[in-house]
Chains A and B, each alone.
Chain A
Amino acid sequence: MNPAQGPIFNTEEHAQELTILERVWRHPRGIFGWLSFTTHQAIGMRYIVTAFIFLLAGGIEALLMRTQLAFPNNTFLGPDRYNEIFTTHGTTMMFLFAVPVMEGMAVYLVPLMLGTRNVAFPRLNAFGYWMYLGGCLFLYWGVFTNTAPDIGWFAYPPLSGPEFSPGKRPDFWAQMITFTEVSAMCVAAEIIATIFKMRAPGMSLNRIPMYCWSMLVQSFMVIFAMPAIMIASSMLLSDRTVSTHFVNPAEGGDPLMFQHVFWFFGHPEVYIIFIPALGMVSSIVISSSRRQVFGYTAIVLSLIATGFIGFGLWVHHMFATGLPQIGEAYFTAASMMIAITSGVQIFCWIATLWTGRLRMTAAMYFVFGFIAIFVLGGLTGVVLASVPLDLQVHDTYFVVAHFHYVLIGGALFPLFGAFHHWFPKMTGQMIDEKLGKITFWILFMGFNLTFFPMHILGLKGMPRRVYTYPPDMGWAAASGLATVGAFVIAIGGLLFIANVLWSRKHGKLAGNNPWDADSLEWAAASPPKNYNFAYLPAVTSRYPLWVAPEDQVIVTGLRNDRREVLVTTLMDAEPHHRYVLPPPSIWPFLTAVAVTIGFAGSVFNAWYITWGSILSGICFIGWFWPRRPVELEP
């Protein structure tokens, strides 16, 4: 059922209402206007496009590394450049691509799926994006001024400390963290508030779309994990700038504490990246198999359990530091438990696909690729959970293979599937399915060619993070193969970009619901209007577009002459009160600039913290200056 159909929508009154909505939600004009956007579609798209650019940057860095490692004793890159590049690659992919792109997708999709008009805190949303962009520019400022971090994306002290890394390189790493974490926290807060309080009436907790469940779990994980990395990077930064000796062993600090705090974030980080991807997989599986998902409750509980267990196994990154045996056994067990929750989800999807009417879209190809790669990566993860095995394969290419299987297979393939799945919604045009399937095959083959040999390299004793290796180790063939594979992946990436550009120009018009899918975003126009829905929908089932009564229920009584949305109750999504969202504003951008000045400057001079705080204070006053909700002149 499409809520935009039916007799009442054809009246003149309706046309008038639409004009008013258009005007209220119109984007401000001009360059300042562009910097003031607060609609979730615009911000979400900015996240996605920016993150995609940094995926390309990280990809280029990967190609440079693979070129260096193609032959033994290669001199394409020296050790210094190589260390900068592998650090920047990891940092970019984790902080500037994977997390933000998942956040961007959520900012775009969650309000649509929930049947509301925007996220709960539109200005915070805009601020979060500008902070993320600030972090991107900050790190790459370092890259282009020969101050790219060269201490690994984990930045273990004392190597990253002032004694062994003079200069500013680790400071750029540590402060970039602050930027992106501020951004991640902003998104997490607003996603949680949006999902808890702004669902369409009738969308009780047991009717939330699977993707929104995954984002809810992910956002809570962000809120608990990100403070840990901010503590770790701040300890490192203050050791470096004001000699606090938190993690300096020479002065009684403890470098292992840094590792604990870092991995308390670092392991959940993996789930922060791939739990949203699991939600995407669920969405694609449901709409492509054209049946209700099998085991909704089991999948949701598995997601939640993953969120909890994910915090209990960071120590498996530190087995080689030598812990007491009983502690190790605990963390082995916890690490293996993750395989149960992941397994349940895989089983439920396969069961859904078995009994559905499967339609093999390009997105579905990526889902099958995801199942193959992610299961293999999960199984090698079980190997890493075992202490004795981990002692051998830890910090070798086996681990490199493992986490690329988990992250590329577990997050990037679903993400590409999601791009193909939601492209019609985001642009209003169909993406070329045939090219999409060719892209899949190239990426799938290139991926396995690159990363499968790395399992064997690791078992044959090749450590990670080496800029070169001797010819007589027997590593050259597999290494060369991996390099070839990396370039195949690059071809797949270029093909995807070409497909997007071509389809933007020549793609068929999509219509509201080209896949005949189940969730509310497909009831909105493609691309969605700034206000998403002319009338906010009410839902009566878990699959509102599939299982709906003959008369679509809609929300009435909201004022359209200001940015008003409906707030509903937490459990049952009963209408609670009306909530006016603020109009567009330049202040989030200006605040982000002020904070950026403080963060970036403090790397060079502690006084910038003062200047940045004063400027931010001024900006916050502007941001929160009380005023009446903007109403249209009649």
Chain B
Amino acid sequence: MTAEPMKPATLVSTILLLVLNGCAGHQQSAVDAAGPQAGRIETLFWFFLAILGAVFIIVMAAAAWTLTKRHRGIEQEPLERTHLPPPQTETRLTRVVTIATIATVVILFVLLVSSIVTGKGMAEFANSKNPMVIEVTGWQWWWQVRYQNSDPQQVLDTANEIHIPVGRPVMIRGTSQDVIHSFWVPNLHGKRDLIPSRITTEWIEADHPGVFRGQCAEFCGLQHAHMSVWVVAEPGDKFQAWFNSQLQPAPAPTDPVLQRGQQVFLNYACVYCHTIRGTTAAGQNGPDLTHFGTRQGLAANTLPNSMGNLGGWIVNPQSVKPGNHMATIAVNPDDLQPLLQYLQSLK
């Protein structure tokens, strides 16, 4: 595990960010790194900001200085008849402009090298021993997640919420089912496009526990705005417990209401798209719902996962997320309550 990266300009960052927004919403921020990859980028960013900020101030000062010595008025005599200052002035200017140009080249070279060094450091993750491999597939407009493992018993399917163990490198193998999406959890790393018929990779790691929000960053159609993902970084043992419980099929309900709910689910069109392991529902076109009750959000985290929101979502998905591909199914009012309770019981 890499040491926590330095933040040389934390003060500046805090001021900059507080100026406009207060301190809300740091769960999705490129300047609040929670892992070595994002940390490297953030350090590089503050380095760039410091240098480029200085350049900006110098250039502005130089431009403003022209204003201090102007001679107003159209009737003013122009510079001699030639419209040229004396040759020694031109020589001096040549010197100044040459120095400025050389300084530009040197500064850019420093920035280029620092950028490449950072990039190389980030690429070293590809040599990680014992990485965890998570396949992320973009769909219009949700994330399919599969924890890969050489042992088929240990392969886990889920959606829209990714749990990772703190301190362990994770390889995100991304692709897309339909159009181009982009997987982006800014607190952990930059973005990587998910492209149909291709596989792209990205390495992330969290260096402390936390819940981080990600969002699709490549325009992907009507509901591009509502395609977010939670990444939950947990200590290893807690992660393992979560993983083991997620591997289990959904338990058969014993409560009569829940049994009724399961029947409702299996009898309606839900099964064409959704899978609940442990039942006959094995649809492949929508998120896996085996442990739906444990998730924080629904409809790719458009709404918090609550009984009321779920009811509204199922009854009229188009009002919550216009254009999304979930079928609107006329659920008999008597069936709705058991269905909701059953889905929420899928822990």
Contacts and interface: CB of A to CB of B under 8 A. Distances in A.
B44 interface: yes
Sorted from nearest, which 9 A-B pairs have the closest CB atoms? A391-B190, A474-B25, A358-B70, A466-B225, A461-B28, A386-B115, A353-B66, A474-B24, A249-B197
Interface string A440-475: 000000000000010010111101111111001111
A119 B286 CA distance: 61
A393 B29 CA distance: 10
B190 A382 contact: no
Interface in B192-214: 192-193, 195-198, 200-202, 213
Given A320-B182, A339-B104, A379-B52, A250 B193 contact: no
Interface residues of A, number: 96
B147 to A, nearest CB: 21
B11 interface: no
Contacts, number: 285
Interface string A187-208: 0000000000000000000000
Given A159-B221, A347-B101, A357-B70, A322 B201 contact: yes
B69 A79 contact: no
B6 interface: no
Interface stretch (A368-376, A490-498, A552-560, A619-627): A368-376
A152 interface: yes
A398 to B, nearest CB: 8
Interface string A236-262: 000000000000011000011000000
A516 B97 contact: no
Given A321-B200, A360-B70, 10 more contacts: A163-B178, A250-B197, A291-B85, A336-B111, A344-B101, A386-B44, A392-B30, A460-B31, A474-B22, A477-B20
Contacts of A463: 184, 215-217, 224
Interface string A338-353: 0110011011101101
B74 A359 contact: yes
A456 B21 contact: yes
A466 B224 contact: yes
Nearest to A357: B71
A359 B29 contact: no
Nearest to A458: B30
A391 B204 CA distance: 13
Contacts of A478: 20-21
A354 B115 contact: no
B83 A394 contact: no
Nearest to A349: B63
A328 interface: yes
A472 B24 contact: yes
B70 A461 contact: no
B74 A156 contact: no
A547 B79 CA distance: 12
B225 A467 contact: yes
A383 interface: yes
Interface string B169-182: 00000000011101
Interface residues of B, number: 98
Contacts of A390: 190
Given A79-B222, A474-B21, A388 B119 contact: yes
Contact of B97 (A255, A348, A360, A393): A348
Given A156-B180, A294-B97, A383-B52, A322 B225 contact: no
Contact of B191 (A249, A372, A394, A453): A394
Contacts of A388: 40-41, 44, 115, 118-119, 122, 190
A630 interface: no
Given A294-B93, A386-B111, A473-B28, A391 B83 contact: no
Given A78-B322, A322-B200, A472-B25, A359 B72 contact: yes
A18 interface: no
Interface in B205-241: 213, 215-225
Nearest to A518: B83
Given A375-B59, A477-B20, A158 B44 contact: no
B17 A354 contact: no
Contact of A372 (B60, B69, B104): B60
9 contacts: A292-B83, A325-B120, A358-B71, A371-B60, A375-B56, A380-B52, A383-B48, A394-B217, A463-B215
Given A291-B83, A322-B193, A164 B21 contact: no
A321 B193 contact: yes
A80 interface: yes
Contacts of B198: 249, 256
Residue among B69, B84, B191 facing the most chain A CB atoms (10 A cut-off): B191
B59 A346 contact: yes
A320 B190 contact: yes
Contacts of A514: 74
B93 to A, nearest CB: 5
Contacts of B66: 350, 353-354, 358
Contacts of B120: 325
A223 B156 CA distance: 53
Nearest to B64: A368
B48 A386 contact: yes
A306 interface: no
Contacts of B201: 322
A528 interface: no
Contacts of B191: 320, 391-392, 394-395
Interface in B29-68: 29-31, 38, 40-41, 44-45, 48, 52, 55-56, 59-60, 62-63, 65-67
Interface string A31-49: 0000000000000000000
B252 interface: no
Nearest to A294: B93
Contacts of A372: 60, 63
B93 A355 contact: yes
